[in-house]
Structure 1
Amino acid sequence: MTENLDSLPLSDRLAREIRNLLISGELPAGQRLSEAAFSERFNVSRNSLREAFRLLTKDGLLRHEANRGVFVAVPTIATILDIYRVRRMVECGALRQSWPRHSAVTSMREAVEVAKIRREALDWVGVGSANMFFHESVVDLADSTRLSDFYERIAAELRLGFGLLANPEQLHAPFVELNDKIVKLVEEGMADDAAREMEIYLNLSERTVLKSLERHGE
């Protein structure tokens, strides 16, 4: 549930496109972004692209280094702790007010089924993308465009943290079944139970990501 992209200024649309690349895992933490390559990719001027980079830098997703260029940010332990603090408030809150026939429940179920298919193919990047869509759908249960837009920014930072794992299977494999359990509870009208399961899920996920950051030297 996001606002109409056509109503946004060009720089904002570009920022959202780049943020989606971060969420999908296409742009890993620490990668340098070429102005020339991205200007050609999106068929925009470098001035428009620089404004988009500035917006993403303000959001903490990119960093500018003098005489070196623009790089994808590497999350810190403090960032991850704060992200999960926000996720517990937003996702568990959205689940508590959920109802089985909400359209977002269908999206949650679809995300789980896609994750299962990608897991069978050992496509852990694909599993990760399906997982991100699952959690975006959870937030959509709140029926708040502003909240869903805010969560997109959180999701991009989170995916950067996921990208630091040496073994992505370690993170994503166990959570496919946990996602399945959560959506089943929502489908059965057990909103409070779903919220409790999500809190357990987020605690486990947080510990896994923090361990990977510690090994990364943060």
Structure 2
Amino acid sequence: MAASEAGDLTDDRVLLGRTSTAERVADILRTRVAEGYFPPGTRLSEEGIGGALGVSRNTLREAFRLLTHERLLVHELNRGVFVRVLAVDDVDDIYRTRRLVECAVVRGLGQPPYALDALAVAVGTGETAARAGDWQGVSTANIHFHRELVALAGSARTDELMRGVLAELRLAFHVVDDPRVLHEPYLARNREILDALRAGERTTAERLLVRYLDDSRARVAAAYARAVDPPAGPAD
């Protein structure tokens, strides 16, 4: 990792405050990995990151351990710590997990009306980003939509689970070279789910979500497979 890249992390030092912990360092690195600042396969420098954040090597190693447990990083013996590169099977498994959790949250909602302000903000942010041609911004807004959808359950444990699952999914997104093709079809579908929940139509929202996740799983897995294992060209 170049020194200039590590230097950019100094802006995050203020987030640590006086009570710096490995968990807070992990939060910063998790966000940076999710944003694609550290792409899959990147080796993370203890010296560069520790110096940029102003934390001890032991604190940084604990943060690395936490993110390795979340499957965002991998430790390779005698080589160091790297941002994980997913297998295609990992993408399928992530979507199976999402289907189980997200659909269960919608199915388990109580009587309407629901607290949908944050969900509506995520939909609007995605649509604004699309108009600006900011497809990475669309990706981020889409992730926020699904995090806010799960947050309707009011469960801190479920929120934590989905934070890790969705951060892991973004490892796949950063490998695919055409984010517009990947994310644009789901802008309208996010709004459909929001509108169904606004109308108190929980069953309709779940049906839309099931189709959404199944279609997204097929699209993302296929695009990811092409990116990590492109077809061989014609023989000479």
TM-score, length of structure 1 as denominator length: 0.90
Task: Verify: 1:217 aligned to 2:224, yes or no.
Answer: no
Secondary structure of 2:82's partner?
strand
Q: What displacement does 1:9 show?
A: 8.0
Q: Are residue 120 (structure 1) and residue 131 (structure 2) matched?
A: yes
The secondary structure found in structure 1 opposite 2:184 is: helix
The more displaced of 29-38 and 133-142 is: 29-38
Residue 89 (structure 2) aligns with:
78
Deviates more, 1:163-172 or 1:207-216: 207-216
What corresponds to 2:33 in structure 1?
A: 22
Q: Does 1:92 align with 2:103?
A: yes
Identity %: 39
State the shift of 1:170 in Å: 0.8
Residue 100 of structure 1 deviates from its aligned partner by 4.5
Query: 1:149 matched to which residue of 2?
Result: 160
Alignment of 1:35-74 (within 5 A): 35-74=46-85
Q: Say which of 212, 216, 219 aligns to 1:208.
A: 219
1:110 corresponds to which residue? 121
The 2-side partners of 1:22 and 1:102 are apart by 32
Uncovered stretches (5+) of structure 2, i.e. residues with no partner:
1-15, 231-236
Q: Give the root-mean-square deviation of aligned CA atoms.
A: 2.0
User: Could you give the per-residue CA deviations for residues 31-86 of structure 1, whole angstroms, max 9, x where no partner exists?
Assistant: 22122222133221111001111121122110122333211101112211111111
Give the alignment partner of residue 148 of structure 2, picking from 137, 149, 154: 137
- 1: distance between equivalents of 2:38 and 2:202? 35
Distance in 2 between residues matched to 1:28 and 1:108, nearest whole Å: 28
For each residue in 1:133-173, what CA deviation from the matched residue of structure 2 results, as whole angstroms up to 9, or x when unmatched? 00000110111101101111101110101111110111111
Choose 193-202 or 27-36, whichever is displaced more: 27-36
Quote the offset at 1:12 in angstroms: 1.9
* Alpha-carbon separation, structure 1, partners of 2:142 and 2:92: 19
AA matched with 1:44:
V
The alpha-carbon deviation at position 212 of structure 1 amounts to 2.0
Shift of 1:96: 1.9
1:94: Cα distance to partner? 1.1
Which of 152, 167, 174 aligns to 2:178? It is: 167
CA contact under 8 A between 1:23 and 1:132: conserved in structure 2? no
Contact 1:164 / 1:212 at 8 angstroms: preserved in 2?
no
AA at the equivalent of 1:214: A
Query: Given that residues 112 and 179 in structure 1 are in contact (C-alpha distance below 8 angstroms), is that contact kept between their aligned partners in structure 2?
Result: yes
Query: What is the number of residues matched between the two proteins?
Result: 212
Q: Does 1:188 align with 2:199?
A: yes
Higher mean C-alpha deviation, range 141-150 or range 29-38: 29-38
Q: Stretches of 4+ moved more than 4 A in 1?
A: none
Normalising by structure 2, report the TM-score.
Answer: 0.84
> Are the aligned partners of 2:126 and 2:142 in contact in 1 as well (CA < 8 Å)?
yes
Decide which structure has the larger Cα Rg and report it.
2
- Aligned counterparts of 2:224 and 2:135: Cα–Cα separation in 1: 19
